[in-house]
Structure 1
Amino acid sequence: MAQHPAHSQNHRHPDEPPPEEIARALKGADYPMGKEKLMALAKSNGADGEVIAVLDKMTIVISTARTR
């Protein structure tokens, strides 16, 4: 029996954008940064509607996590 795509190894739902697109949208973020500022940054970085929708679903403030 085939495995549901959301249960694959990367655990990403098929309707969500790849992590690389989210990282590209948040390039230049200066943490800590609230959700509204993250969304504005993503829009200014050219994020598409799927990325904006994922950020809009967030209920937490990203405060210390920084990826390079």
Structure 2
Amino acid sequence: MTHPAVAEKLEFFEFEHLPAELRAVSEPCARLAHLMATSLPQSSQVTLGLQKLLEAKDCFVRAALPKREGEAG
């Protein structure tokens, strides 16, 4: 059974709603998150690891966003 804190983190890894170019960045992180959540014993370290992976995923997705006019690259 998935701990509620782990399940809550996993919700933030959903990627189906994203455009294809962002989905391609987000999906591998989601797959890793689910692998770790299901293959490791439920613990605070798993929850913390998912939080850190979520932060990294958000950075990767932002890096893949199209640049706005006048924005430095």
Instruction: Give the TM-score category using the shorter length.
Output: under 0.3
- TM-score by length of structure 1 reads 0.25
- TM-score by length of structure 2 reads 0.24
Greater share of helix: 2
Q: Which has the higher contact order (CA 8 A, sep 6+)?
A: 2
